[in-house]
Structure 1
Amino acid sequence: MAQCLVFEVRSQRTVLRDRNSGLGRQPAMYKERKIERHQLQDYLQVFNRHTGRLMGCLGNVSGEGLMLISELPVLVGARFDLCLKMPNGNIGQSIDLSAKCLWSHEDETPGSYDSGFELSQVSTEYLAFVQLLREYFCFYPFYEASA
C-alpha cells in the first residue's frame, strides 16, 4: 500500500500524499524545504464497519467527503459503511461514516487506487475531525513586530 505519511493543506482540503511522490522531478529550488511539514506517526486507516477489514488509508478530507487510497479499486455508485480509526494516541476512538463512492481510478503510484466518497450524513464528530486536521496541518505566517 502507498506510504500515506504527509498531509498538505490545499485550499479547503487537507491532502495526504506519499512522502516520496514527485521527488527528483521537482526543480532544484523546490528540493530544500522552506517551511516545516507536519509528519504523521501512523496512517489514518479506513475500515469496513461491518467486516472490520481495512479498506485503505485516508487521502484527503473535506466537510462533505473524503478520498481513500487503497490497493484495490472501489465499486463506483456503491454505498459503504466506513469506520475511520484514530492512530495510537487516541486508542479506541473512531468515527463511523456512511458514504457513496463517486469515482475510483488508479493512482500515480502503481498498485494504488484513489476513490472519492460523498458522505450520506455529516456528523458533528466528523466535522470536528476535519477542523482538527486543518488546524494541525495549517501553517500560519510569522510576523515580526516592528520597532
Structure 2
Amino acid sequence: MRTQRSIERHQLPYYLKVFNRITDKPMGSIGNVSLDGLMLISQLPMLLNARFDMRLKIPGKDHRLHYIDFHATCQWCREDITPGSFDSGFALVAPPADYVEMVDALRYYFSFRSIAASA
C-alpha cells in the first residue's frame, strides 16, 4: 500500500536544469524541490534505486555560474502526462549547505508574504 507524501513540495513555475556531475550532460529539469529531495522531469526514464552524481548551475549576481553538487537516489519513476517525458523522484544523500540555501531562497521567493510582514 502506498503512503501519502508528507514532505512539503514547492512547485517551480520555470525549470532549473540538472546535469550529470561526471559527464556534464543534462539529465532534465527540476519539477519541484524540497529539503530532502526533488522531482526531475526528463526525456528518459531514470533507473530506480540508482545513485546519481548531480549538479545544478545557478546564475549568480556576479553573472557567473555557481555549481551545486550533490548525490541523489532515484526513488520512483513514471511517465509524465506530456508524451516523451518522465517524472522521477529523488532523495538527496546528505544535501550540501548550498542546496539547502537554494531551497530556502526558492521557498522565500515563491511564497506569499503579506505587505506588512515584508515592510
Q: TM-score range by the shorter chain?
A: 0.7 to 0.9
Give the ranges of 4+ consecutive aligned residues of structure 1 lying more than 3 Å apart after TM superposition.
87-90
Q: Which runs of 5+ in 2 are unaligned?
A: 1-6
Deviation track 1:86-119 (CA, whole Å, cap 9, x = no partner) reads: 1476532010010100001011111111000001
Aligned counterpart for 2:67 among listed residues 78, 83, 94: 94
In the alignment, what sits opposite 1:130? Answer: 103
RMSD: 1.9
CA distance in 2, matches of 1:141, 1:88: 27
Give the greater-gyration-radius structure (CA): 1
With normalisation by structure 2, the TM-score equals 0.83
Give 2:57's aligned amino acid: K
Percent identity reads: 50
Give 2:55's aligned amino acid: C
* Residue 111 (structure 2) pairs with residue 115 (structure 1): no
* SS across alignment from 1:51: coil
* SS across alignment from 1:127: helix
CA distance in 2, matches of 1:16, 1:110: 20
In the alignment, what sits opposite 1:5? Answer: none
CA distance in 2, matches of 1:121, 1:80: 13
Give 2:80's aligned amino acid: D
CA distance in 2, matches of 1:62, 1:15: 9
Aligned counterpart for 1:15 among listed residues 11, 15, 24: 11
In the alignment, what sits opposite 1:27? Answer: none
Give 1:16's aligned amino acid: L
With normalisation by structure 1, the TM-score equals 0.68
Give 1:103's aligned amino acid: W
CA distance in 2, matches of 1:103, 1:50: 22
More strand by share: 2
